[in-house]
Chain A
Amino acid sequence: MTDHVDAFTKQICEIIVGKNQAVKLAVACLLARGHLLIEDIPGVGKTTLCQTLARSLALAFQRIQFTSDLLPADILGNSIFDQIKQHFVFHRGPLFSQVVLIDEVNRATAKTQSALLESMEEHHISIDGVTYELPEPFFVIATQNPQHQVGTFPLPESQLDRFLMRIELGVPDRASERAMLLGMDRREMLKELKPVFSPRTLLEIQDNVRKVHASAALLDYLQDLLDASRQRHSTGLSPRAGLALLHASQAWALMNGRDMVLPEDIQAVGVAVMAHRLGHDIEQPGQSGRALADNLLHSVPVP
């Protein structure tokens, strides 16, 4: 099981050079059945990461570019009257896919964002009184521009909470960038990519992630973290955040070949899981969520 995951991670890392940690987090997010939010400037390889993930798993892939005039029907699909059959036919939107890349999610209006996030949570779409199940596995990767850019509609906290992790890719270091510059065209490489394992195997691995043992001592630590966040910040971590932290660390433990979660696993995924949930503390406006999460992990003792 771990071999599969290793091979999978390795294949992605060949394309996304020098971003091992971010790639591993992205894979952990996928294995924990969460959705991923990538926050970074354009051109650092967000789309490439998504495509690599989708192709390595032989999953259906769709990309939606969010703009300020995008409407919910554009992503969910809509009913069109069929002249010949004399009734409405539902045409599925691009969201009906297994890996969906939402580019620049904070460019769309709140209405469209909500439509997307609802379907992320519920794994189904209801239109005209009919409920359509989304395919399994269903994995959304959204990218967003840093908030200070012009023409953005920042996601509210409640919707940020739906993303299991938020990661940043960042510019590669000098050596990695050189390797990228020297290497083959990424688009060519993507075309030659072979799936590492089947969607069925992915579902199995996802099931196994939930079975990774979390001992009482570990849950104590997790709850200590949650309590500490609630005491220190006006908007502490929600119970959903607690679950997210547990599932992400379970995935991380599995990726590291263990059948039990260690405090280190929580610490490894901690910033990615907690930062976007803590970044809205009105009492500490200067602090980024990343710093707050880091602070938590470096002050709550491991019991």
Chain B
Amino acid sequence: MSKGKSRSWSQRDRSIPRRPLLWLAAALLFTLPPMFASLATWIPCFFLATLAIKFWMEPKGYRLRLAPLKLILAAMALVVIFFSYGSLKGVEPGVSLLVVLMSLKILEAHTSREFQVIVTMGWVLCLCGFFLSQDFAIALCLLVAFTLQIAALVQFHRGSSPGAFWPPLGAACKLLAQAFPLVVLLFFLCPRISTGFRFDFRDALSAASGFSDRLSPGSIASLASSSDIAFRAEFPDSKTRPPGPMYWRGVVMWRCEGMEWRAPYTPASLAHSSSVGASSARRTEFARALPIQSRGGKAIRQRIALAPHGAHWMFALDRPFEAAPGATLANGNYLWSVQPIRKPRRYEIVSSLESTGKELQPRERKAALELPNSISPAVRELAESWTAQNSDPHVIVNNALQFFRTHGFRYSLSPGEYKKNDLDQFLFQRRVGFCEHYAASFATLMRLAGIPARVVAGYLGGEYNDLGRFFLVRQADTHAWCEVWLPDSGWTRVDPTSIVAPGRASLDLNSFLDRRIASGEMETRRSAFVTQLTRLAIFTNIRLAWETLNYQWDTRVLGFDADVQEALLGAAGIASSGPFFTIAEILIVVTALLIFYACWMQLRTRSRTDRVKGLYERFCRKLTRLGVRRDPWDGPSDFSSRAAQLLPNESKRIREISNTYITLRYSPESGTIAHDTFAKQVSAFAAHSC
């Protein structure tokens, strides 16, 4: 018996109790999702494996003991991480290294001190999770992880004694709830400093995000299954979605290479004086340059939250007529960000749904008619057959559309591969394509027919969220269409895809495909069950609510950057002149708040008796002035007798005051006498005698 007891005593510092370990493991599981999303898969797997092994090792008393073995494992981890990423620099390798080293630490840990080290590292892991992703879902996950880690610590300090399982979690939640006001305060006040060091978070992502300056066959079709968010847009001026198809203009491509089109690497700016910040000057210039407003065209204001993509594209409804801050309006009326967009960006933009009636400059006309030499004679012949019939551009455009309509062209996500010179193969043989094939071939044909034409790439449609009143545009909605120059209406949008696939223009791609699948026109992409399930109304509603939440998270929480903060603080009267002044000001404010809080707590804890004591001390000071000094150890009753004896004239008052004091301070009925009575007695005593 005694042996068992001493063993359990010595074990207290030899092993980590099971329950805190369970809580901690649960917490660490919740730090995994961002890792699975962004790190090499073996790293979170390794982490999971270590946790499992730890649970097997702990009861047996096994642990990682040998120092050389630890060193070898750490070195191996370094090497493997280097080969996984090709570098040790950057966020992902850094976080990976931390995760692997933490896994080893978990295997090694066996004392209570080391347990606390693991918990601390767990908090660092939570932080790293935010480096990897700032999604709302991830934030929720990490919040759960954070709570569970506090629960682990609480459980740890309560000891391993069995008891109810849930109180530590309750305590953790309570702690977090108490910290919440401070979190809110820090959220608003903690300075967002974006200068100094910078992580290139999105370098790896820019390749994955769909858009590029080159429209080659298959480049858009490859995005059709991507559910990544491109941007979200809301219309602050209207409560409903604007009517008609939503063409989101991204980039205009001028250079034709048959089936492949290209945008200029750095676009020529439409307004030569356009620079960041000079928006009012630009506005008047555009008002002159674009007669659209004078014609009473319908302007639509949009607020767009763009996901980072690493390139310069910015999107707006077809077509924007002034540049957003930090962007220029490029030749072809599309937005071009001066800096690559590496972090989420929000901007407001006004678009007009009507085309411009601007004159075509000779230089532009030349660029819009340029053709490669590699066009085959058959294609040239086709175009020339239309010009021979009628030279009116409208008729030519209609003829071309008629051609696509009547010659058995099919719309398909998997049209097979085309080379950039395969124009005649597409037009005359296979006749299967996605939007980029139609846009590219149509524009090329137009140029062949002598009509200035260009290809516009952007997004079509998007899903309107009734709950949050915003459009969610995904990479899958990437689209390409044409613009032709017609003498009476200027650049006019022609979407040949809508001829081949009517209905696409009014829906986002997924809904369109779902509808086609439902009507049997296309092969299914998903299992029937999943399709059925996703079509249920309740799931749609949940999804819409979730997307709204995400949008609010992105715009309200993540979007609270230095600029918004500065505006807010400015509105609150805290003017800022540089980040360091802001820090200083915020420090002063926070210190003042803390002092205020401390004073308040002090005041609250000061009990009623302290006032009584203060009054009594005042009474004693008055008596001292009269020549009767109270020693600190004198009791009130003794002192009053002594004072009454020494000051016979005042004896009645002295006894009265002392009795009141004794009642207030020592009696069980202290509540029956008002403090004010006592205060009055003491004051009256002073007035009378001094």
Contacts and interface: CB of A to CB of B under 8 A. Distances in A.
On whether the two chains bind one another, the answer is yes
Contacts of B636: 262-264, 302
B339 interface: no
B635 A262 contact: yes
Nearest to A216: B609
Interface stretch (B166-174, B396-404, B462-470, B659-667): B659-667
B668 A217 contact: no
Contacts of B9: none
Nearest to A265: B635
A259 B634 contact: no
B637 interface: yes
Given A267-B635, A302-B634, A217 B609 contact: yes
B670 interface: yes
B665 A217 contact: yes
Interface stretch (A15-23, A161-169, A293-301): A293-301
Interface string B167-190: 000000000000000000000000
Contact of B613 (A259, A261, A303): A303
B633 A301 contact: yes
B632 interface: yes
Q: Which residue, B634, B665, B666, B667, has most C-beta atoms of chain A within 10 A?
A: B666
A213 B668 contact: yes
A300 B666 CA distance: 18
Nearest to B641: A264
B364 interface: no
B667 A213 contact: yes
B609 A259 contact: no
A165 B631 CA distance: 27
A193 interface: no
Given A264-B638, A303-B613, A213 B633 contact: no
B633 to A, nearest CB: 6
Contacts of A300: 633
Contacts of A267: 633, 635, 638
A262 B633 contact: no
A267 B666 CA distance: 15
Nearest to B662: A262
Nearest to B612: A217
A215 interface: yes
Nearest to A299: B633
A55 to B, nearest CB: 34
B630 to A, nearest CB: 9
Contacts of B632: 301-302
Given A262-B662, A264-B638, A303-B613, A215 B633 contact: no
Interface residues of A, number: 19
A300 B668 CA distance: 24
A301 B607 CA distance: 20
Interface string B104-136: 000000000000000000000000000000000
A297 B633 contact: yes
A260 interface: yes
A303 B633 CA distance: 8
Contacts of A110: none
B637 A262 contact: yes
Nearest to A267: B635
A302 B668 CA distance: 19
A180 interface: no
Given A216-B609, A259-B667, A260-B667, A298 B633 contact: yes
A16 to B, nearest CB: 26
A218 interface: yes
Nearest to B665: A217
A215 B670 contact: yes
Interface in A197-229: 213, 215-218
Contact of B668 (A260, A264, A298, A299): A260
B137 to A, nearest CB: 53
Nearest to A221: B635
Contacts of B638: 264, 267
A154 B665 CA distance: 42
B633 A218 contact: no
B635 A215 contact: no
A302 B613 contact: no
A263 B668 contact: no
Contacts of B670: 215
A276 B285 CA distance: 102
A296 to B, nearest CB: 9
Given A217-B609, A303-B613, A261 B666 contact: yes
Interface in A264-303: 264, 267, 297-303
Given A216-B609, A217-B609, A302 B666 contact: no
A297 B632 CA distance: 10
Contacts of A298: 631, 633
Contacts of A261: 666
A114 B6 CA distance: 33
B666 A262 contact: yes
A213 B613 CA distance: 19
Contacts of A218: 666
A216 B670 CA distance: 11
A302 B609 contact: no
Given A216-B609, A217-B609, A260 B633 contact: no
B665 A259 contact: no
Nearest to A218: B666
A107 B356 CA distance: 123
Q: Which residue, A213, A260, A297, has most C-beta atoms of chain B within 10 A?
A: A260
Contacts of B607: 216
A116 B607 CA distance: 47
Interface string A241-270: 000000000000000000111111001000
A96 B102 CA distance: 72
A264 to B, nearest CB: 4
A181 B631 CA distance: 42
Given A217-B609, A303-B613, A264 B667 contact: no
Contacts of A302: 632-636
Contacts of B666: 213, 215, 217-218, 260-262
B613 A263 contact: no
A253 to B, nearest CB: 9
A126 B665 CA distance: 46
A264 B613 contact: no
Contacts of A216: 607, 609
Nearest to B607: A216
A217 B636 CA distance: 12
A262 B661 CA distance: 11
Contacts of B631: 298
A256 to B, nearest CB: 9
Nearest to A301: B632
A261 to B, nearest CB: 7
Interface of A: 213, 215-218, 259-264, 267, 297-303
Interface of B: 607, 609, 613, 631-638, 662, 665-668, 670
Given A301-B632, A302-B636, 20 more contacts: A213-B666, A215-B667, A215-B668, A215-B670, A216-B609, A217-B609, A217-B613, A217-B666, A218-B666, A259-B667, A259-B668, A261-B666, A264-B635, A264-B638, A298-B631, A298-B633, A299-B633, A300-B633, A301-B633, A302-B632
20 contacts: A213-B666, A213-B668, A216-B607, A217-B609, A218-B666, A259-B668, A260-B662, A260-B666, A261-B666, A262-B635, A263-B636, A264-B635, A264-B636, A267-B635, A298-B631, A299-B633, A300-B633, A302-B633, A302-B634, A303-B613
Q: Please provide the 9 A-B residue pairs with the shortest distance between their CB atoms, ordered closest to farther.
A: A301-B632, A263-B635, A264-B635, A213-B668, A215-B666, A260-B666, A260-B667, A217-B665, A264-B637
